[in-house]
Structure 1
Amino acid sequence: MNRRKFLSLTSGGVILAATASVATVATRSPAAALAPWDQAGVGYADPRMRALSYAILAPNPHNRQPWMVDLSQPDTVVLLADTDRLLPHTDPFNRQIIIGLGCFLEIMVMAAAEDGLAVDPDVFPEGADAAALDGRPVAIARFRADARVRPDPLFRHVMDRRSNKEPFDVDRTVSADAVTQIAMAAENRTRVDGSVTPESIASLRQLTTEALMIEIETPHTYKESVDLFRIGKAEIEANPDGIDFSGPMFETLGAAGLMTRDAALDTSSTIYKQGIAAVVENTDTAMGHLWLTTPGNTRADQINAGRDWVRLNLAATSLGVAMQPLSQALQEYPEMSDHYQLVHEMLAHDGETVQMLCRLGYGIRIDRSPRWPLEAKLI
């Protein structure tokens, strides 16, 4: 959500009526939940741990961080999905979760290359269910020394990569050349396309806004997001995943009882109405769009989509271009079926699956997303 929009939720009188303890709370920062960013690559003798300390910073749906790793075999990382961190309502077949796992794998491979190590992920070596993830490995990745390995130039942008959920500057255009440069970063058998024409921007602004409203106005899909709200430092540090609301404004609103999950679910509340205004402002300030498709929709296709998606995000970062995924129209639940069909008619070639869609633009610099420490993800 657009954090600045929530400034209009409280009048000066409400703020003045807040207690001194609320003012103190407003200064808090979830430092422990952000510590994994500062610890990436630091103090690990095992090159697998160094690589994984960067991989846990990968983008993933609703910041669920759905990865677990088994290091019991020498020079090997076995990646598994944490089936307690799925999104059954908005992502019923776990497609988006797998894309997040693909992002994780790509950053791990990049980080290993910094140590001169090649990594060869064997994806779903024991097979996979097309309907749902289970306990079988997502990938088995073996680390080996290889003198031919060269660092990936995109890796230097891992620490600055963000998914920007703020409004973009509508007075600053994104060039077609920038879109081409970003698209060239894909390497994993996906097709990437995009557009910055006024006609395309207008049609995709409308489509993504409509799809967003469907998700919000469908009770079970909206509640899935609201249940993952983390409001203020205490909640974020207790559960450094989900959708974080941190900083002085949200600390104050939460402490004053003005922002709660119940209020967010109440369609008559100011929080609900301002929340809608905030997210619609995001879709309405898109200054271009980028999308990624795969030949089919196998589990391997989904992993490849994730591997390339994070590459696109890093390439955009290198150019100073902000990205925000707008994947609501790609979600596979019944209420979204018409828009799912429409987005494929607009963006896919015959037989392709649109795996990711995002808006492009220029926006303010945003903070890092909370993360679980690497040690919490080890089996």
Structure 2
Amino acid sequence: MTSRRKFITILGGGIIVAAGGVGTWAATRDPARAREPWEAAKMLEAGTSGDPRIFALSHAILAPNPHNRQPWIAELSTPGEITLYFDTTRRLPETDPFDRQLTIGLGCFVELLVMAAAETGHRADVSLFPDGAPQPLLDERPVARIRLVADETTPRDPLFAQVFLRHTNREAYDTARPVSAQTLDGIAASVRSARMDHATGAEEVAALRTLTWDAMEIELRTYRTMKESVDLMRIGKAEIEAYPDGIGLGGPLNEGLELLGLMDRQAMLDPDSMVFREGMKAQKVQFDTAMGFLWLATPGNARADQIAAGRDYVRMHLAVTEAGLSLQPFSQALQEYEEMAGTYADMRSALGIGENETLQMLVRLGYGPEIKASPRWPLETRIRTA
């Protein structure tokens, strides 16, 4: 293991400078094995993988989802059918106390599955919550039964071409490049059920930067919500490849900071620590470089509404990718826990959310740098065996 003396840290700027042999070490820190499910899906040719369910599922597991929990389990015991379940071990009880966000993630999974099935000439007939829609939490009942029916008239979705390019981009965006309202108006056509709206004006964007950062500060300074995130952090190549879910903090910079003791999990939870303060600075860059905002609202908040919001969200994200833009969810102000209640109400007011509507997703937009895909568990780990 590389010695701490091999690193020079400039705390104010959060910069690590490699010395000696560290450059060689740094070149080996990419957790490429955790991205293998993306490569496996790319290698599949529609109609040649035997069971079309495998093609569909290989793409569905690439869906965006909160904290990268990947909360899906598929059962294939009935030929031609996929029964989708929620993995109850993957809850976010502090920041998602009613499983709303996780249900949206399952909706993203369903939409990519339907799109992928169409690529093989199959119509996906989706029956949601066939044994009832569980409240207030998801349970072990099926989320959906999906029957794949051979049907060459099933239209292929042009957004499918963006599946391998769609990534959540948490880097700083280019503040010299404005986001066009006209471009976002065009993206609205990708949404089928939810109401999509956007903000690109300088004053609107500045106000939303402030409000979304206020919400993030609440989450970071509330011990139990911050601890939920810290407990899901995977720091460095070894952790990410062993547990390809949660919040991946990979690369030589993060591993170097850990060697220096600057990624100490207990210190991350202490608002008085230098580690906490530097983490706040690093995250605020995301908010300060938001160049536009998009949001989705549904007329209700039943489980079916949440699934529909997820299906629309991944379609919107694919359309954003097609337009050359980057996107990152800012979900903090939408979360339903006590400490967030005031900011939650302020955000609804700022975005003009109707009395009976539910604000399901809010994202920042901009032009970001090219990034790599996020880690995924291999498909075989997400299929239930008898």
Name the TM-score, length of structure 2 as normaliser: 0.92
Partners of 1:7 and 1:249 within 8 A in 2: no
Query: Could you tell me which residue of structure 1 aligns to residue 373 of structure 2?
Result: 368
Query: Could you tell me which residue of structure 2 aligns to residue 85 of structure 1?
Result: 90
Q: Tell me by how many angstroms 1:121 deviates.
A: 1.1
Partners in 2 of 1:329 and 1:225 — Cα distance? 16
2:228 aligned with 1:228, yes or no?
Answer: no
Query: Could you tell me which residue of structure 2 aligns to residue 150 of structure 1?
Result: 155
Q: Equivalent residues in 2 for 1:81-160 (5 A)? A: 81-160=86-165
Partners of 1:116 and 1:145 within 8 A in 2: yes
Q: 176-185 vs 251-260, which deviates more? A: 251-260
The residue identity in structure 2 corresponding to 1:163 is T
Change (3 A) 1:73 1:59: same
The residue identity in structure 1 corresponding to 2:227 is K
Q: Which runs of 5+ in 1 are unaligned?
A: none
Partners in 2 of 1:11 and 1:110 — Cα distance? 43
Q: Deviations over 1:297-352 (max 9, x none)?
A: 00000000000000000000001011110010000000000111122223212310
Q: Deviations over 1:136-170 (max 9, x none)?
A: 00110000011321110000000000111111111
2:272 aligned with 1:268, yes or no?
Answer: yes
Change (3 A) 1:322 1:217: same
Q: Tell me by how many angstroms 1:11 deviates.
A: 6.0
The secondary structure found in structure 1 opposite 2:146 is strand
Q: Tell me by how many angstroms 1:24 deviates.
A: 2.5
Query: Could you tell me which residue of structure 1 aligns to residue 6 of structure 2?
Result: none
Q: Which runs of 5+ in 2 are unaligned?
A: 1-9
Q: Tell me by how many angstroms 1:358 deviates.
A: 0.6
Partners in 2 of 1:307 and 1:336 — Cα distance? 26
Query: Could you tell me which residue of structure 2 aligns to residue 239 of structure 1?
Result: 243
The secondary structure found in structure 1 opposite 2:190 is coil
The residue identity in structure 2 corresponding to 1:304 is A
2:31 aligned with 1:30, yes or no?
Answer: yes
Q: Equivalent residues in 2 for 1:186-201 (5 A)? A: 186-187=191-192, 189-201=193-205
Partners of 1:23 and 1:252 within 8 A in 2: no
Q: Tell me by how many angstroms 1:172 deviates.
A: 0.5
Change (3 A) 1:22 1:269: farther
Partners of 2:16 and 2:253 within 8 A in 1: no
Partners in 1 of 2:40 and 2:248 — Cα distance? 20
The residue identity in structure 2 corresponding to 1:370 is P
Partners in 1 of 2:15 and 2:269 — Cα distance? 18
Change (3 A) 1:29 1:7: farther
Q: 143-152 vs 305-314, which deviates more? A: 143-152
The secondary structure found in structure 2 opposite 1:178 is helix
| Identity across the alignment (%) | 51
Partners in 1 of 2:195 and 2:11 — Cα distance? 38
Q: Select which of 56, 67, 70 maps to 1:65.
A: 70
Aligned residue-pair number: 370
What is the CA RMSD across the aligned residues, in angstroms?
1.8
Partners in 1 of 2:107 and 2:368 — Cα distance? 26
Query: Could you tell me which residue of structure 1 aligns to residue 58 of structure 2?
Result: 53
Partners in 2 of 1:6 and 1:110 — Cα distance? 46
